[in-house]
């Protein structure tokens, strides 16, 4: 299949969306986990034994005994070989993918690619080029369908569902590819290019060369992106004037310093000092080359983006959500399924969020009438509730305290190595709306767990670090590592599960905190309700703007009906949702689907419900669609009744 550079660019941004949260020839190891026949020893050494858990010591894989064992074994080997080839193709398609997912290619039988953002040719935007990529999806779907799922063990069934889900919805997205936007104000290249290089892993001289090669080749990549935006304008899918202004402002903010003063110069120079594999002469040469690349490739690229957007502004055929453009509703349906992790569809999602919104508002009003003193106290002190922990505890101290608090309710993983720090101050404004993120490590590098906090939002850190760290993203990822899943399970986003788990864990972690007030328990309830109502609002408005066609006035009326007043902020909310459709669905719908599984288990098991066992069931499955996860929870309920 031809790899289009612009497609690589869009996929890289999807990786960033999941990394900044803020997703191998093989035989089974007998636990449903993955170990390659060719790389078993090296990969096992890389992962180490420190992550051994209950999940690793139980044999819960059942193979149907109605099939010939030799046929079952042969299919397993063929399926894992199929997954190996898929993984290798993906991680070697460009240097960024490799850097994100692989530390040592010898563990997987692949070589580190030279600096490249991906292949490109003159057919990037032709109907024939699009047709070819769609055909490649059909070929993979057809090949996947040749495997007999009934002959698979539990782990391979989950992998099968995971891959089929990816193929189905990504094909649907690509059928309406011009509805995507690599320059969107939230998840676009201008907003994220600095983050890509700030977090680029450098282990040796080859990595330095690749880092600089990618930086030097940015002008070629951005030329592709600019051509894509021009095509979007021709097809009537170009961004609204307001969002165009927002990205132009991002360009202005990026360019306000001279190239030699850009923070990436200082960051890279500081990193060079720590590279003991370089000589002083090499450090000097690489520093000079970095400055030249920023001056001659990065800055001109951002300047060209600004000029292009300035020229195209006013030529957008629409000023609203996705549903206003050709193919927009189909695109949104697939995007929604990927974001929330379920094929339940827009109508069902709207019904779910609307019901939850009403439930939360009713509960909040009940507290306001039954306990007005506590309600008043909460709202009077909302901005300072977490002040003590925010001012007195370092982020690392908060994460360690959380690890101690949650150990009885979650499977024990021992100590998880991590590094937490604030992002460079120059990134605070560029990372608009991003409070913090957990950067997922390479498949064979479990000890590198990175959490970064945006200093503009350094408040409520207990809640934030529970989401990003323990028992949220970092813990879930470490647990999944301990299961030794096939590496292909790590390369595609399952944001509904991932963010659903992180929000669920975040709310659960609030119960461990003591607000040192006579209203302690009520404060916890109100804080959660506040957050839940906010996510419901965002999820509902996202659906209404991008699928049902709401205007800013419709948002105004909706807010008024609920007793809220968004004021001028409603226009910005509208623009944000139109620029990055579905961006909040994993936090809203994904959470409610995760919490719904907990509610179901508690209701049906009653006194037999055990939080640790429930969490183990969720974590054992790993990131997957809720249509796959739900039967596993139902089986857990059945076994524990």
pLDDT in tens, 439-483: 888 999 999 999 998 888 778 899 999 999 999 999 999 999 999
71-82 in b/e form (b: 16+ CB < 10 A) is ebeebbeebbeb
120 vs 598: which has the higher pLDDT: 598
CA-to-CA distance for 327 and 347, rounded, in angstroms? 18
Strand partners, 421: 452
Backbone angles phi, psi at 569, to 5 degrees: -65, -20
Distances (CA, A) of 288 to 269, 282, 291, 295, 491: 10, 10, 5, 11, 34
16-28 in b/e form (b: 16+ CB < 10 A) is bbbbbbbbbbbeb
Find the mean pLDDT for residues 285-309.
Answer: 97
3-state secondary structure of 240: coil
- HSE (side-chain half, CA atoms, 13 Å) at 124: 21
pLDDT of residue 1: 27
Find the mean pLDDT for residues 164-182.
Answer: 93
| Residue 112 and residue 98 in contact, taking contact as beta carbons nearer than 8 Å | yes
CA-to-CA distance for 309 and 391, rounded, in angstroms? 42
Residue 512 is classified by DSSP as T
pLDDT of residue 127: 67
Burial of 346 (0-12, 13-18, 19+ CB in 10 A): middle
Residue 366 confidence (pLDDT) above 80: yes
Find the mean pLDDT for residues 589-616.
Answer: 97
Distances (CA, A) of 458 to 144, 223, 381, 461: 46, 37, 17, 7
Confidence of residue 120 (pLDDT cuts 50, 70, 90): low
Residue 3 confidence (pLDDT) above 80: no
471 preceded by a cis bond (ω within 30 of 0):
yes
352 vs 455: which has the higher pLDDT: 352
Distances (CA, A) of 566 to 243, 283, 380, 558, 562: 19, 52, 20, 10, 11
pLDDT of residue 633: 98
DSSP H or E stretch at residue 34: strand 34-36
Neighbours of 150 (CB within 10 A): 10
Q: Which of 171-175, 418-422, 625-629 has the highest mean pLDDT?
A: 625-629
Backbone angles phi, psi at 453, to 5 degrees: -115, 135
DSSP H or E stretch at residue 468: helix 461-468
Q: Which long-range contacts (CB under 8 A, 24 or more apart) does 323-330 make?
A: 323/546, 323/547, 323/548, 323/549, 324/549, 325/179, 325/236, 325/237, 326/176, 326/235, 326/236, 326/237, 327/175, 327/176, 327/178, 327/179, 328/176, 328/179, 328/237, 328/546, 329/547, 330/172, 330/175, 330/176
Helix ranges (DSSP H) in 371-414: 372-380, 387-392, 395-406
Burial of 111 (0-12, 13-18, 19+ CB in 10 A): exposed
pLDDT of residue 65: 66
Burial of 603 (0-12, 13-18, 19+ CB in 10 A): exposed
Find the mean pLDDT for residues 318-323.
Answer: 90
| Residue 81 and residue 460 in contact, taking contact as beta carbons nearer than 8 Å | no
pLDDT of residue 121: 45
| 15-19, 372-376, 621-625: segment of lowest average pLDDT | 15-19
Confidence of residue 431 (pLDDT cuts 50, 70, 90): low
- Interacting residues of 342 by C-beta distance below 8 A, sequence separation 6+: 496, 589, 593, 625, 626, 627
- HSE (side-chain half, CA atoms, 13 Å) at 245: 8
| Residue 601 and residue 630 in contact, taking contact as beta carbons nearer than 8 Å | no
pLDDT of residue 5: 44
| 302-306, 428-432, 604-608: segment of lowest average pLDDT | 428-432
| Residue 223 and residue 290 in contact, taking contact as beta carbons nearer than 8 Å | no
27 vs 13: which has the higher pLDDT: 13
Residue 532 confidence (pLDDT) above 60: yes
DSSP string, 573-638: HHHHHHHSTTTTHHHHHHHHHHHHHHHHHHHHHGGG--HHHHHHHHHHH-S--HHHHHHHHHHHHH
Strands 450-453 and 419-422: parallel
Residue 296 is classified by DSSP as I
Residue 317 confidence (pLDDT) above 80: no
Residue 53 confidence (pLDDT) above 70: no
Confidence of residue 133 (pLDDT cuts 50, 70, 90): confident
Find the mean pLDDT for residues 546-564.
Answer: 93
């Amino acid at each position: 299949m031809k790899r289009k550079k612009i497609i690589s660019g869009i996929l890289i941004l999807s990786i960033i969306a999941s990394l900044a949260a803020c997703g191998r020839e093989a035989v089974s190891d007998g636990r449903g986990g993955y170990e390659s026949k060719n790389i078993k020893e090296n990969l096992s050494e890389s992962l180490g034994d420190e992550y051994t858990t209950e999940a690793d010591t139980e044999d819960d894989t059942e193979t149907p005994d109605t099939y010939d064992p030799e046929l079952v074994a042969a299919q397993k080997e063929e399926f894992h070989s199929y997954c190996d080839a898929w993984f290798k193709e993906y991680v070697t398609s460009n240097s960024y993918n490799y850097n994100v997912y692989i530390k040592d290619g010898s563990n997987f039988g692949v070589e580190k690619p030279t600096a490249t953002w991906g292949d490109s040719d003159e057919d990037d935007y032709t109907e024939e080029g699009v047709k070819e990529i769609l055909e490649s999806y059909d070929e993979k779907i057809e090949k996947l369908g040749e495997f007999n799922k009934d002959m698979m063990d539990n782990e391979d069934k989950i992998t099968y569902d995971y891959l089929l889900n990816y193929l189905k919805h990504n094909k649907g997205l690509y059928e309406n590819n011009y509805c995507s936007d690599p320059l969107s104000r939230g998840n676009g290249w201008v907003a994220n290019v600095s983050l890509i290089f700030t977090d680029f892993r450098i282990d040796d001289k080859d990595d330095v060369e690749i880092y600089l090669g990618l930086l030097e080749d940015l002008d070629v990549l951005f030329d592709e992106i600019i051509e894509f935006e021009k095509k979007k304008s021709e097809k009537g899918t170009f961004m609204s004037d307001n969002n165009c202004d927002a990205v132009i402002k991002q360009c202005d903010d990026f360019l306000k310093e001279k190239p030699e003063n850009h923070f990436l110069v200082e960051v890279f120079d500081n990193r060079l000092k720590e590279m003991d594999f370089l000589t002083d002469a090499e450090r000097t040469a690489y520093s000079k080359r970095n400055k030249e690349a920023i001056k001659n490739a990065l800055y001109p690229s951002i300047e060209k983006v600004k000029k292009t957007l300035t020229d195209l502004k006013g030529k957008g055929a629409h000023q609203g959500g996705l549903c206003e453009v050709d193919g927009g509703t189909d695109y949104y349906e697939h995007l929604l399924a990927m974001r929330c992790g379920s094929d339940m569809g827009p109508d069902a999602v709207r019904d779910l969020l609307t019901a939850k919104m009403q439930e939360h508002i009713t509960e909040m009003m009940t507290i306001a009438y039954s306990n007005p003193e506590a309600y008043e106290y909460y709202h009077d002190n909302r901005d300072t509730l977490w002040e003590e922990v925010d001012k007195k505890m370092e982020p690392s101290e908060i994460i360690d305290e959380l690890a101690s608090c949650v150990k009885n309710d979650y499977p024990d993983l021992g100590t998880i190595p991590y590094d937490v720090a604030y992002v460079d101050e120059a990134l605070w404004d560029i990372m608009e709306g991003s409070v913090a993120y957990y950067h997922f490590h390479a498949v064979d590098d479990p000890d590198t767990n990175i959490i970064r906090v945006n200093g503009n939002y350094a408040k409520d850190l207990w809640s934030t670090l529970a989401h990003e760290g323990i028992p949220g993203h970092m813990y879930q990822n470490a647990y999944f590592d301990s299961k030794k899943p096939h590496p292909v399970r790590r390369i595609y986003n399952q944001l509904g599960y991932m963010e659903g788990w992180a929000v669920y864990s975040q709310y659960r972690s609030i119960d461990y905190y003591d607000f040192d007030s006579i209203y302690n328990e009520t404060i916890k309830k109100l804080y959660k309700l506040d957050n839940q109502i906010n996510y419901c609002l965002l999820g509902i408005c996202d659906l209404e703007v991008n699928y049902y066609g709401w205007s800013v006035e419709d948002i105004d009326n909706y807010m008024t009906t609920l007793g809220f007043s968004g004021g001028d902020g409603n226009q910005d909310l509208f623009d944000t949702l139109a620029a990055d459709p579905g961006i909040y669905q994993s936090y809203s719908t994904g959470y409610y689907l995760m919490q719904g599984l907990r509610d179901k288990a508690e209701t049906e098991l009653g006194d037999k419900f055990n939080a640790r066992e429930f969490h183990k069931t969720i974590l054992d499955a790993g990131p997957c669609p809720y249509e796959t996860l739900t039967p596993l929870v139902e089986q857990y309920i059945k076994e524990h009744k």
